[in-house]
Amino acid sequence: MIAILRWILLPISLIYQFIVWLRNKMYDHNILKSQTFDTPTIVIGNLAVGGAGKSPMTEYLIRFLKDNYTIATLSRGYGRQTKGFRIVTTASTALEVGDEPLQFKKKFPDITVSVCEDRCTGIETLGIANDIILLDDAYQHRKLKAGFYILLFDFQSLFKPLLTLPTGNFRDNLSSIKRADLIVITKSPSTIRSHQKKHIEKLIRTYSDSPIFYSAIQYQAPVSCANQHQTIKDLTGLDIVLFCGIANPTPLVEYLTNLGNRIHLLDFPDHYNYSNKDFQKVIAKYHQIASDNKVIITTEKDMQRIEKKDFLNLPLYYIPIQLGINRNDDNAFEYYIEKYISTVI
């Protein structure tokens, strides 16, 4: 029924597509003005709504660059209940700064993490104290003209109708691919068939000659809410109550299922602000399972919105993820990043 409704709304998608096209043309021809900055700026973005892997890519760049450069990240802080520019601290809450910026700060406490809905204002406030500013989800923020753009596509999204909202899942037109300096196909299968690769590259080459890379999710060992690390071997043959508020939980469900677990999924909207009632629902589901071999699992992003006291004495874990560029391509990917930075520093 929902799919039918989305196709009924196709005329609205066409109007939306035209408005986005017109806005981009106005920026392309300087009718609407973009602002540039002396500080090197790298934008990580996507054209579709949610779930392309922007946060893992941001963390990949942090790991790659933090030992040689002073880095700041700047995000909108999606889901926060505050406005304006804020510096994120390890004592911040997701309601104050958003879940993903808080995750960045907790994982990389030595870098500057900030949020601001206006990226130009954010960069101005950060000043020149940082060598590089990484902008998470700013591809459509045309008021800013960044120095370097990394555009992400979820692998599966390129085999579905490539339409704008509300019929499709794209918030920008495919012609915007032309602004990307690097293109990364995320969540790729371990083996990509030749016809799939031809389809993807034919589509992208219509708009851009920029390098294309393929990446995959790399799930890490589970971590308890008390920061105790387990091994993957500990995560087999279990009944798992999996609850998460992410754009697409399917890859995580498949990963845990393939390890030989039975999954009991409670799926919430992306960036969902949990209530105590939601947590009680998760705990009730856990207690309903007769087996003694059972745990509760969530994502690292969701863990930023959870108070440990809500799951006192319960086996709650999260699964960290990392982005892995396909073997033999990571050096080339990093080369392009370094090449850009060397031209501006």
Q: What is the pLDDT of residues 112-146, one digit of tens each?
A: 999 999 999 999 999 888 999 999 999 999 999 99
What is the pLDDT at residue 308?
A: 81
Q: Which two tokens stand for residue 90?
A: 């390890």
When comparing pLDDT for 148 and 161, which is higher? 148
- Fold classification of 2-218+324-344 is Rossmann fold (3.40.50)
Rounded Cα–Cα distance for residues 203 and 174 (Å): 9
The CA-to-CA distance between both ends of the chain, in Å, stands at: 54
Q: What pLDDT is recorded for position 175?
A: 97
Q: How far is CA 29 from the centre of its chain?
A: 30
DSSP type of residue 336: H
Burial label, 125 (beta-carbon count in 10 A; 0-12, 13-18, 19+): middle
pLDDT given at position 235: 85
Residues 6+ apart with CB under 8 A from 28: none
Kindly indicate the confidence band of residue 171, based on its pLDDT and cuts at 50, 70 and 90.
Answer: very high
Q: Map out the domains of the chain as residue ranges.
A: 2-218+324-344, 221-319
pLDDT tens-place string over residues 280-330: 999 999 999 999 999 999 999 999 999 888 898 899 999 999 999 986 777
Q: Spell out where 155-206 has E strands.
A: 182-186
Paired residues of 317 in beta bridges:
224, 297
Sorted by sequence, the CB contacts under 8 Å of residue 284 that are 6+ apart come out as none
Give the relative orientation of helices 54-65 and 330-344 as an angle to the nearest 10 degrees: 70
Average pLDDT estimate for 208-219: 96
CB 168 within 8 A of CB 13: yes
* pLDDT average, residue stretch 145-154: 97
- Chain centre distance of CA 229: 23
Average pLDDT of the chain is 94
Enter the pTM of the model. 0.94
* 62-91 confidence digits (pLDDT tens): 999 999 999 999 999 998 999 999 999 999
Report the pLDDT averaged over residues 181-189.
Answer: 96
Alpha-carbon distance of 114 to 95, in angstroms, equals 14
**Among 172-176, 200-204, 233-237, 283-287, which stretch is predicted with the lowest mean pLDDT?**
233-237
pLDDT tens-digit series, residues 241-290: 999 999 899 999 999 999 999 999 999 999 999 999 999 999 999 999 99
With residue 340 as reference, give the H or E element that holds it: helix 330-344
pLDDT classification of 3: cutoffs 50, 70, 90: confident
CATH classification of 221-319, choosing from 3.40.1580, 3.40.1130, 1.25.40, 3.40.50? 3.40.50
Neighbours of 22 (CB within 10 A): 10
How is residue 228 written in tokens?
A: 């105790």
3-state SS class at 78: coil
Q: What is the DSSP pairing of strand 294-299 with strand 239-244?
A: parallel
Which one, of 115, 129, 141, 161, lies nearest residue 9 by Cα? Answer: 161
Residue 226 has what pLDDT? 72
Percent of the chain residues past pLDDT 70, beyond the cut: 98
